Amino acid sequence: MSAPLPVVAIVGRPNVGKSTFFNRVIGGRSAIVEDRPGVTRDRNFGQAEWAGRPFWLVDTGGFIGEDVDPLAVAVRDQIMAAIGEADVVVFMVDGREGPTAEDQAVAEILRTSGRPVVLLVNKLDRHPEEDAQHEFWSLGLGEPLPVSSSSGRGSGDVLDAIVAHLPERVPPGDDAPLYIAVIGRPNVGKSSFANRLLGEERTVVSDIPGTTRDSIDTPFRYGGRDLVLVDTAGLRRQARVKEGVEYYSALRTERAIARSAVCLLLIDSTEEIHVQDLRIAERTLDAGCGLVIVANKWDLIEKDDRTSAAYEKHVKERAPSLAHVPMVFISALTGQRVRKALDIALEVADRRETRIATSEVNDVVGELVRRLPPPHHHGRAVKILYATQAGVRPPTFVFFSNEPKGFTRNYLRYLTNGLRRAWDFGGVPLQLRIRGRREDAA
Ligand code: GDP
Ligand code: GDP
């Protein structure tokens, strides 16, 4: 049995340096750092490790003491949720501003939260000459630790303090969590779907223009399995979107596909499927990721009992290469079949790990070749001498042939479809490789 990783949440007012710290610990570009106050991100999870102890680090948005605007309320709710889920809370304050009334308000919540708290006094770039951390003893949260997130100074001691509070180490499980991504064009309902699935308001939805959010990795358990939902709703509805941000959103989708076992491609069932949807679908399979097409907003459709079949037929006629991909019709609004979509994704993930015995592979391939032999190549018969499954995730089949160059695209497609039908590989990308007979011995 694998134990979920412990969770460390960073909370604090906006602009104290939370995402700077987060990025320093996580490395890479997992969170957007903005220099303007009031720019908020959603909770952002990343895996970190210190002194051999892996954990999830959660970057929350900023905490605002008074309910001045709807966004602030939403952000505060996020933090309450983050505290609820955290094993350790890192409370970050700004050493250049001294304890503020808002810091006191957060401290009060934290003192009653029952969670271990590590108090970080950030922006003390010239520590030890700068020792403003002592003022923060007044928060009643124990020893304030000086740190400079931008330079990294003090971060080692801080990380020592954090991992000291992590729950007892449990033997690591065999199975890493399964990553499932929610992808699709803006406004198809990705956030609504993720929220519905995770059963709580995890994402800040705000109509304030210019608000950006990152994709979030949310670990959760479902049917006894450790899963991570990757939500790529990187962009809020807004009148004008800066080019750079849009690019960022596309990049997020790519990265989500690259690290996920299965993608749930959301489309809007009130519209015809877009060319862009088909393109993303093909990208996903090309990248070796499993695929489920999720037609959302089904509650808006006037239906008789043939509508979903007709819609699916239409999609698959437009994109024959997606004929095998499972499709499910849901409503993120009402919750209809939202879990079903996840169940189907898990089936696809399982099939993506299937190993087929070599004898079975050869039986099926033998039958396929009997039914339709490969076309001749430069007047010579093309034979498949032997076939085997060489790998999983995605399933990869190797064919040894006397004429490896003789395989046409059409014939490869025929073989792929045959393998798919034989083992129910719907939604699973299959890779075929053809090798010459010499390599047979290798
Ligand atoms: P968040 O809103 O709490 O996530 O804060 P950010 O990480 O976005 O940081 C807010 C601003 O403080 C940015 O301009 C950072 O460059 C700056 N900042 C963060 N950490 C430090 C630090 O250790 N020293 C100094 N001097 N500036 C910092
Ligand atoms: P995202 O940009 O893909 O994350 O899309 P959102 O989740 O923000 O949804 C875009 C809009 O569609 C919002 O106004 C949602 O309330 C609405 N929406 C999402 N799912 C459904 C649904 O299943 N049915 C209906 N009627 N509206 C939905």
Pocket test for ligand 1, best of 20, 93, 151 (most atoms within 8 A of CB): 20
Q: How far is the CA of 147 from the centre of ligand 1 (A)?
A: 11
CA distance 353 to 81: 34
List of long-range contacts for 313-318, beta carbons under 8 Å, 24+ apart? 314/272, 314/273, 315/273, 318/273, 318/278
Q: In what order do the strands lie in the sheet with 88-94?
A: 44-50, 53-59, 7-11, 88-94, 117-122, 144-146
Q: Quick one: residue 297, left, alpha or beta (phi over 0 = left, psi -120 to 50 = alpha)?
A: left
CA distance 216 to 231: 5
Mapped onto helix, strand or coil, the DSSP state of residue 436 is: strand
Q: Say which range, 224-228, 293-297, 356-360, 368-372, has the weakest mean pLDDT.
A: 224-228
* Helix axes of 101-111 and 70-85: crossing angle, nearest 10 degrees: 30
Residue pair 333/192 in contact (Cβ under 8 Å)? The answer is: yes
Residue with tokens 């995605």: 394
Beta 225-231 vs 178-183: how paired, if at all?
parallel
> Does 56 score more than 50 pLDDT?
yes
Query: Does any ligand 1 atom lie closer than 6 A to the CB of residue 78?
Result: no
Mapped onto helix, strand or coil, the DSSP state of residue 199 is: coil
- Ligand 2 atom with the shortest distance to the CA of 236: 2
Query: Does any ligand 1 atom lie closer than 6 A to the CB of residue 77?
Result: no
Longest dimension (CA), the chain: 88
When pLDDT is cut at 50, 70 and 90, the band that residue 324 belongs to is very high
pLDDT value, residue 13: 84
> Atom 10 (ligand 1): residue with closest C-alpha?
15
Pocket test for ligand 2, best of 182, 183, 187, 340 (most atoms within 8 A of CB): 187
Query: Does any ligand 1 atom lie closer than 6 A to the CB of residue 149?
Result: yes
- Ligand 2 atom with the shortest distance to the CA of 298: 23
Residue pair 5/55 in contact (Cβ under 8 Å)? The answer is: yes
Residue bearing the bigger pLDDT, 33 or 286:
286
Q: Residue 318 phi/psi, 5° resolution?
A: -70, -30
Q: HSE-up of 95 (CA within 13 Å, CB side)?
A: 22
Report the run of H or E that residue 289 belongs to, with start and end.
Answer: none
- Mean pLDDT taken over the chain: 81
Residue pair 400/369 in contact (Cβ under 8 Å)? The answer is: no
Beta 53-59 vs 44-50: how paired, if at all?
antiparallel
24-46: average pLDDT = 52
350-364: average pLDDT = 94
Q: How far is the CA of 66 from the centre of ligand 2 (A)?
A: 29
Residue bearing the bigger pLDDT, 233 or 198:
198
Residues with CB under 6 A from ligand 2: 184, 186-192, 233, 296-297, 299-300, 331-333
Q: HSE-up of 53 (CA within 13 Å, CB side)?
A: 19
Q: Following DSSP, what letter does each residue of 366-431 receive, concatenated?
A: HHHHHHSPPPPBTTB---EEEEEEEETTTTEEEEEES-GGG--HHHHHHHHHHHHHHHT-TT---E
CA distance 29 to 156: 20
pLDDT value, residue 206: 41
121-125: average pLDDT = 96
Query: Does any ligand 1 atom lie closer than 6 A to the CB of residue 33?
Result: yes
- Ligand 1 atom with the shortest distance to the CA of 151: 23
> Does 338 score more than 80 pLDDT?
yes
Q: Residue 92 phi/psi, 5° resolution?
A: -105, 130
Q: How far is the CA of 270 from the centre of ligand 2 (A)?
A: 12
Q: How far is the CA of 252 from the centre of ligand 2 (A)?
A: 20
- Ligand 1 atom with the shortest distance to the CA of 149: 23
Q: Quick one: residue 15, left, alpha or beta (phi over 0 = left, psi -120 to 50 = alpha)?
A: left
112-127: average pLDDT = 90
Pocket test for ligand 1, best of 11, 29, 33 (most atoms within 8 A of CB): 33
> Atom 22 (ligand 2): residue with closest C-alpha?
297
16-40: average pLDDT = 64
Residue bearing the bigger pLDDT, 37 or 285:
285
410-434: average pLDDT = 95
| Percent of the chain residues past pLDDT 70, beyond the cut | 78
> Does 3 score more than 80 pLDDT?
no
When pLDDT is cut at 50, 70 and 90, the band that residue 304 belongs to is confident
Q: How far is the CA of 329 from the centre of ligand 2 (A)?
A: 14
Mapped onto helix, strand or coil, the DSSP state of residue 352 is: coil
Q: How far is the CA of 192 from the centre of ligand 2 (A)?
A: 6
Mapped onto helix, strand or coil, the DSSP state of residue 294 is: strand
The predicted-structure confidence for 385-396, as pLDDT tens digits, reads as follows 899 999 999 999
Query: Does any ligand 1 atom lie closer than 6 A to the CB of residue 95?
Result: no
The predicted-structure confidence for 171-214, as pLDDT tens digits, reads as follows 444 567 899 999 998 889 998 998 888 875 444 444 333 333 34
Q: Is 405 exposed, middle or buried (0-12, 13-18, 19+ CB in 10 A)?
A: exposed
